[in-house]
Chains A and B, each alone.
Chain A
Amino acid sequence: MTDPEDRALTWSFNRRAFIGGAAGTVALPLVAKAAGDANTAAVAADLSLPVDVTLQINGATRPLNIDIRTTLLDALREHAGLTGSKKGCDHGQCGACTVMVDGRRVLSCLTLALTVQDQPITTIEGLSQGDQLHPMQQAFIDQDAFQCGYCTPGQIISAIACVKEGHATTDGDIREFMSGNICRCAAYPNIVAAVKQAAPAVSDEQKG
């Protein structure tokens, strides 16, 4: 184990070396704070300082102060206290982190939080009306469409989008357009059944 004081020294050394290096190579008038602020010129900033980011999550405005590198997934889970969206791979390979941004399903693990500040975000926590589950949530329960449940929040968000995109007309279509959500427990047949069960209600919701 490294002695804490040593560690502190190493850290401050690396940090200073990095900032020095960065200031030398990046002759850009960029500053972390300029995030939402187009074309803003400013002096070189300390990139390790957190930035202010405001997200619109499930209809609520959530001001956060986060590291510039924070993904939307980490912002939701670690900073906004919304742990429904899951981290399976963190590399775009599983779909467990699927959320809606501006009505489109996307992977929150490959989205930087500060890039989606003006767009409405919907997570699994935003689907129910009080105690009334969303029809897709209810369908997953009715059809036994999960075992461990880890992939389920991503599956449900994706399933709603799948119906709204018009891709829930046949079993084959559902399988293809749900293929971005991997289920390690292989609940696939039940997931297809759940999407079919909820499809009419989700289409109505879209029309109405």
Chain B
Amino acid sequence: MRPFAYSRPTDANSAVQALSAAASANSPVADAAIQALAGGTTLLDLMKLDVMRPSALVDINPLSDVWSAVNLDGGNLKLGALARMSDVAAHADIQKNYPVVADALKLAASPQIRNMASLGGNVLQRTRCTYFRDVSYENCNKRNPGSGCAAMDGFNRTHAVLGTSGQCIATYPGDFAQALIALNATVEIIGKSSARTVSFAELHRAPGNSPQIETTLMPGELISSFSIQGRWPRSTYFKVRDRQSYEFALSSAAIALEVQDGTIRDARIALGGVATVPWRARKAEGLLKGEKFDDALASQVAEAAFEDAVGSKHNAFKIALGKRVVARALHQAAAMEI
């Protein structure tokens, strides 16, 4: 790990000031010389690997007093960016009204990591692509723009089948983001001079020709909270992995349904473990609206969700697996007793 300067501001304004000090408007936030430190479970890991090399850390944990609030007033949900994964997963009202949120958090990482990790840091976690994490590989377009991609001809069993580009096929590894994108969440962001709200679907950027730019956050900006409109009691998160726990998804699905008298009024599907960014399967969702749920429909929806999938040498199995995950998760959600 390289040495860094450290500060621990106690209010949001000082934090964004500190974070913007050396911000150049065009540099992607993931490479910014000054990084916010929340739980540190992504940042310190990658600093030890020399993948992230910030020269300064701004410890935002003192903002937890204000930024870890969970609010369910008025039938909506607001989650502070510094709320810890474990606390939100264990929140009885969230388990009841937003099971997809509670489940996605509970099925991630380990109890220790969930005690440390914040929601804001969680959505910004970096890919687990082994070539990205190992700096002895020169060619990684994400870490070293223009250098090529070691995973394309390498071992790519865990890589993405959706949203890939000729530059990068790295999987977005997180679980919680699938719940957020499925429920049309918004993200509240504060910067040096202003605050803004964006749709969660606009936070992450597919790799395209610049895989090193992963989000639309600018250096100096902080996520302060996430908001979800309405309640989603009929929702679930289903995750398949190489081992039963403490492992990233090979394939997962976040599902939310609104059913009235047996007819599906609204449906949301997001896919994890298979795409380069949090992935909303909009076309597949569309097939459910106005219909009655049955096996045939579930299979049709699952096919549609992976219609555009492209496998690499070792990960084509994810397409077959992913379809089954979607069908199974739909069954799970449809069968829920509300």
Is there a chain B Cβ closer than 8 Å to A137's Cβ? no
Total A-B residue contacts, Cβ distance less than 8 Å: 126
Is there a chain B Cβ closer than 8 Å to A71's Cβ? yes
Q: Which residue of chain A has its CB nearest to the CB of B7?
A: A30
Are A180 and B6 neighbours in the complex by a CB distance under 8 Å? no
Are A95 and B1 neighbours in the complex by a CB distance under 8 Å? no
Are B55 and A110 neighbours in the complex by a CB distance under 8 Å? no
Number of interface residues of B (CB under 8 A): 38
**A22 cross-chain contacts in B, Cβ below 8 A:** 3, 5, 55
Q: How far is the CB of B90 from chain A (nearest CB, A)?
A: 8
Are A92 and B111 neighbours in the complex by a CB distance under 8 Å? no
**A27 cross-chain contacts in B, Cβ below 8 A:** 21-22
B22-66 vs A: 1/0 string, CB under 8 Å? 100000000001100101110011001100000110010110000
**B111 cross-chain contacts in A, Cβ below 8 A:** 105, 158, 161-162, 165, 167, 177, 179-180
A91 to B6 Cα, complex, angstroms = 21
Are A36 and B8 neighbours in the complex by a CB distance under 8 Å? yes
Q: Which residue of chain B has its CB nearest to the CB of A91?
A: B45
Partner pick for B5 among A30, A90, A91, CB 8 A cutoff: A30
A167 to B111 Cα, complex, angstroms = 11
A37 to B3 Cα, complex, angstroms = 19
Binds B, one of A5-13, A111-119, A123-131: A111-119
Are B41 and A47 neighbours in the complex by a CB distance under 8 Å? no
Are B59 and A92 neighbours in the complex by a CB distance under 8 Å? no
A107 to B56 Cα, complex, angstroms = 22
Given A26-B21, A28-B34, A110-B116, A69 and B3 contact (CB-CB distance below 8 Å): yes
Q: How far is the CB of B67 from chain A (nearest CB, A)?
A: 16
Q: How far is the CB of B95 from chain A (nearest CB, A)?
A: 14
Q: How far is the CB of A67 from chain B (nearest CB, A)?
A: 8
Q: How far is the CB of B133 from chain A (nearest CB, A)?
A: 9
Partner pick for A26 among B33, B49, B116, B244, CB 8 A cutoff: B33
**B9 cross-chain contacts in A, Cβ below 8 A:** 38-39
Size band of the A side of the interface?
A: 35 or more
Is there a chain B Cβ closer than 8 Å to A34's Cβ? yes
Residues 156 to 176 of chain A near chain B (Cβ within 8 Å): 158, 161-162, 165, 167, 175-176
A167 to B150 Cα, complex, angstroms = 42
**B116 cross-chain contacts in A, Cβ below 8 A:** 106-107, 110-111
Is there a chain A Cβ closer than 8 Å to B147's Cβ? no
A47 to B115 Cα, complex, angstroms = 30
Q: How far is the CB of B185 from chain A (nearest CB, A)?
A: 26
Is there a chain B Cβ closer than 8 Å to A48's Cβ? yes
Given A22-B55, A38-B62, A115-B61, A28 and B112 contact (CB-CB distance below 8 Å): no
Are B8 and A35 neighbours in the complex by a CB distance under 8 Å? yes
Partner pick for A28 among B10, B22, B48, CB 8 A cutoff: B22
Are B115 and A105 neighbours in the complex by a CB distance under 8 Å? yes
A27-62 vs B: 1/0 string, CB under 8 Å? 110111011111110001101100000000000000
Q: How far is the CB of A14 from chain B (nearest CB, A)?
A: 11
Are A69 and B4 neighbours in the complex by a CB distance under 8 Å? yes
Is there a chain B Cβ closer than 8 Å to A152's Cβ? no
**B interface residues, Cβ below 8 angstroms from A:** 1, 3-10, 14, 18, 21-22, 33-34, 37, 39-41, 44-45, 48-49, 55-56, 59, 61-62, 109-113, 115-116, 244-246
Q: List 20 A-B contacts (CB under 8 A).
A: A26-B56, A27-B22, A30-B5, A30-B18, A38-B10, A47-B5, A68-B3, A69-B4, A92-B41, A92-B45, A105-B112, A107-B113, A112-B40, A115-B40, A158-B111, A158-B112, A161-B111, A162-B111, A179-B111, A180-B112
